[in-house]
């Protein structure tokens, strides 16, 4: 890549500073500002990091203007059409599509690590049954560092591999255990003969009193949703995993921090918020009123599932999920969920014709339709963000592995623009 130099000039001192430009393989170049403070005594200012690259990465590429998403160079549309979640997990982790032998070995390793340490299951009994599943999952994942001392040396490649396989394998079991605890039902153990998504459905929905057959359509729908949610560049939760991991903390704690960040309604919590919003809108007659609320600066209401920091055109994942909705609802015979889907479609059509949404480049994102499919699969709203966390775990793991091995990695420590009081003297309480 050709390296060029950006010149900036300090108006007061007239001092020129050449800032090195580093070009990217795809997308915007970056200006290396590491010398800026040392040479010019100033910080850059970018709340929300909308124009700030925190790292160099080879994993996922997004073009927000063109609505492009690629994992290791493969367009998401092709992976959605031809791949499986486990194959995508291998691709994100190791950088290349696996051979049949590599895929079989990886898949078997994941299947062999799905069971939880029995002491772990007792941890769930410490939660009330009405605890939000995301609270249970983030807490239990953080506790993994208390059990797995054999995989916390982040400088040891073997430890990093054991951690990666273990967390990818166990996150569905932890998620299902949280769901069962919220239902006051017994935990269901994983079955290693089932594929990743079928095993999750088995652990979510089977009960000891009867047999449970996994619906292949449901497994196929989950597999596609998980591919679409697997990674997404330096989003809020991934950046959290990288920042936490940059201190050298154990990887389970870093992933737990990512789960907590994902929970927010502005991020992964939006899929749950979308269904709440659609249920509040209720019917087509109310759409105009709610679109007006979303546009009203004095009204905190936002159209959940709309807008994105990066996509200023369509979110390719939303396009794929929207197409999938009809097929899945029909195949699952879940016509009763169709009204909510029809309402979402109508809301999207009205919003996309409205100048406010057009001018602000607000389009449906990945969360706008995903909840409709999760609901059709019998998964309650409180579990929607947990499903997102299961899928995104491999993305967090891949990004964490890249961060740990990146020679440019230093502990993340942003600065600030101080606008508080200048120095002043202490006043004894009797004089205040
Ligand atoms: C995910 O980063 C990722 O990659 C995330 C993700 C991933 O895979 O990891 O893609 C997953 O988090 C998707 C986003 C899910 N969140 C939502 O659907 C919540 C609703 N959306 C918004 O809160 C918002 O659009 C964000 C958080 C997604 C993006 O926020 P930004 O980039 O900080 O944009 P902003 O809040 O500055 O909004 C810009 C303008 C504002 O108006 P002005 O102040 O310029 O007048 O657009 C308005 C906002 O008020 N706006 C909305 C809106 N989203 C933005 N107005 C109404 N409804 C909305 N949904």
Catalytic annotation, residues: 308, 367
The two tokens of residue 272 are 């749950």
Which atom belonging to ligand 1 lies closest to the Cα atom of 360? 47
Residue 206 backbone phi and psi in degrees, to 5: -80, 155
Indicate the DSSP class of residue 383. G
Ligand 1 atom 30 nearest Cα: 309
Question: According to the model, what pLDDT value does residue 286 have?
Answer: 96
CA distances from 428 to 421, 423, 424, 432 (A): 18, 16, 13, 7
What is d(CA 17, CA 353) in angstroms, rounded to the nearest whole number? 47
19 lines ligand 1 (CB under 6 A): no
φ/ψ bin of 72: left (φ > 0), alpha (ψ from -120 to 50), beta (otherwise)? left
To the nearest 10 degrees (0 to 180), the angle between helices 251-262 and 133-147 is 170
Chain segment 108-149, per-residue pLDDT in tens: 999 999 999 999 899 999 999 999 999 999 999 999 999 887
Ligand 1 atom 4 nearest Cα: 235
3-state SS of 175-204?
HHHHHHHHHCCCCCCCCCCCCHHHHHHHHH
Question: According to the model, what pLDDT value does residue 3 have?
Answer: 54
Note the maximum CA span of the chain.
80
Ligand 1 atom 23 nearest Cα: 266
CB 368 within 8 A of CB 306: yes
For residue 146, the CA-to-ligand 1 centroid distance in Å is: 36
Chain segment 405-427, per-residue pLDDT in tens: 999 999 999 999 999 999 999 99
365 lines ligand 1 (CB under 6 A): yes
What is d(CA 84, CA 88) in angstroms, rounded to the nearest whole number? 6
Question: According to the model, what pLDDT value does residue 16 have?
Answer: 75
Work out the angle at residue 21's Cα, subtended by the Cα atoms of residues 20 and 27, and round it to the nearest 5 degrees.
Answer: 160
Question: According to the model, what pLDDT value does residue 17 have?
Answer: 77
Exposed, middle or buried: residue 102 (CB in 10 Å: 0-12, 13-18, 19+)?
middle
For residue 54, the CA-to-ligand 1 centroid distance in Å is: 20
For residue 333, the CA-to-ligand 1 centroid distance in Å is: 33
Ligand 1 atom 24 nearest Cα: 307
Indicate the DSSP class of residue 27. S
306 lines ligand 1 (CB under 6 A): yes
Global pTM value: 0.95
What is d(CA 166, CA 111) in angstroms, rounded to the nearest whole number? 10
Kindly compute the dihedral angle of the four CA atoms of residues 117, 123, 129, 132, in this order, to the nearest 10 degrees: -90
317 lines ligand 1 (CB under 6 A): no
CB 85 within 8 A of CB 227: yes
What is d(CA 355, CA 408) in angstroms, rounded to the nearest whole number? 44
- The residues, any chain, with a CB within 8 Å of residue 250's CB and separated by 6 or more, are 145, 152, 154
Alpha-helical regions (H) of 194-286:
196-205, 216-229, 236-245, 251-262, 270-281
Alpha-helical regions (H) of 95-156:
100-111, 118-124, 133-147
List the helix and strand counts (H, then E) for the chain.
18, 6
What is d(CA 212, CA 332) in angstroms, rounded to the nearest whole number? 16
366 lines ligand 1 (CB under 6 A): yes
Ligand 1 atom 16 nearest Cα: 266
Distance of CA 385 to the CA centre of its chain: 9
292 lines ligand 1 (CB under 6 A): no
What is the strand order of the sheet 60-63 is part of?
A: 60-63, 68-71, 74-75
Question: According to the model, what pLDDT value does residue 152 have?
Answer: 80
323 lines ligand 1 (CB under 6 A): no
Strand-pair partners of 4? 21
For residue 376, the CA-to-ligand 1 centroid distance in Å is: 26
For residue 370, the CA-to-ligand 1 centroid distance in Å is: 17
What is d(CA 318, CA 271) in angstroms, rounded to the nearest whole number? 12
What is d(CA 19, CA 30) in angstroms, rounded to the nearest whole number? 10
Exposed, middle or buried: residue 264 (CB in 10 Å: 0-12, 13-18, 19+)?
middle
Torsion sign over Cα 249, 250, 256, 259: positive
Residue 177 backbone phi and psi in degrees, to 5: -65, -40
347 lines ligand 1 (CB under 6 A): no
Question: According to the model, what pLDDT value does residue 2 have?
Answer: 52
Question: According to the model, what pLDDT value does residue 153 have?
Answer: 87
Residues of the chain with pLDDT under 50: none
Ligand 1 atom 20 nearest Cα: 304
To the nearest 10 degrees (0 to 180), the angle between helices 216-229 and 316-331 is 170
CB 334 within 8 A of CB 376: yes
């Amino acid at each position: 890549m050709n390296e060029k130099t950006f010149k900036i000039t300090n108006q007061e001192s007239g001092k020129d500073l050449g800032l090195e430009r580093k070009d990217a393989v795809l997308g915007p170049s970056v200006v290396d500002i590491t010398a800026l403070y040392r040479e010019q005594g100033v910080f850059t200012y970018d709340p929300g990091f909308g124009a700030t690259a925190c790292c160099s990465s080879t994993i996922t590429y997004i073009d927000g203007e063109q609505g492009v998403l690629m994992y290791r160079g493969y367009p998401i549309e092709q992976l959605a059409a031809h791949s499986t979640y486990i194959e995508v997990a291998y691709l994100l982790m190791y950088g290349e599509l696996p051979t049949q032998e590599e895929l079989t070995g990886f898949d078997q390793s994941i299947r062999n690590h799905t069971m939880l340490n029995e002491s772990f299951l007792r941890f769930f009994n410490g939660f009330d049954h009405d605890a939000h599943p995301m609270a249970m999952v983030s807490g239990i994942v953080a506790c993994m560092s208390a059990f797995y001392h054999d995989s916390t040396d982040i400088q040891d490649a073997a430890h990093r591999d054991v951690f990666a396989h273990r967390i990818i394998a166990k996150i569905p079991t932890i998620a299902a255990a949280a769901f069962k605890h919220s239902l006051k039902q017994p935990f269901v153990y994983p079955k290693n003969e089932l594929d990743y998504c079928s095993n999750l459905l088995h652990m979510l929905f089977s009960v000891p009193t009867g047999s449970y057959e996994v619906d292949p359509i449901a497994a196929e729908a989950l597999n596609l949703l998980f591919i679409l949610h697997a990674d997404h560049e330096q989003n809020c939760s991934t950046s959290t995993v990288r920042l936490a991991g940059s201190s050298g903390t154990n990887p389970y704690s870093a992933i737990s921090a990512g789960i907590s960040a994902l929970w927010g309604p502005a991020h992964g919590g939006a899929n749950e918020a979308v269904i709440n919003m659609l249920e509040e809108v209720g019917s087509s007659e109310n759409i105009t009123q709610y679109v007006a609320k979303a546009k009203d600066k004095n009204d905190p209401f936002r159209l959940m599932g709309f807008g994105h920091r990066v996509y200023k055109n369509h979110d390719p994942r939303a396009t794929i999920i929207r197409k999938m909705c009809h097929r899945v609802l029909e195949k699952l015979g879940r016509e009763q969920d169709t009204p909510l889907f029809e309402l979402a479609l109508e809301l999207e059509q009205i919003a996309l014709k409205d100048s406010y949404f057009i001018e602000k480049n607000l389009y449906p994102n990945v969360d706008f339709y995903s909840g409709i499919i999760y609901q059709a699969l019998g998964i309650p709203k409180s579990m929607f963000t947990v499903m997102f966390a299961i899928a995104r775990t491999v993305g967090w793991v891949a990004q964490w592995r890249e961060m740990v091995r990146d020679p440019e990695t230093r502990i993340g420590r942003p600065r600030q623009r101080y606008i508080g009081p200048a120095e002043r003297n202490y006043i004894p309480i009797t004089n205040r």
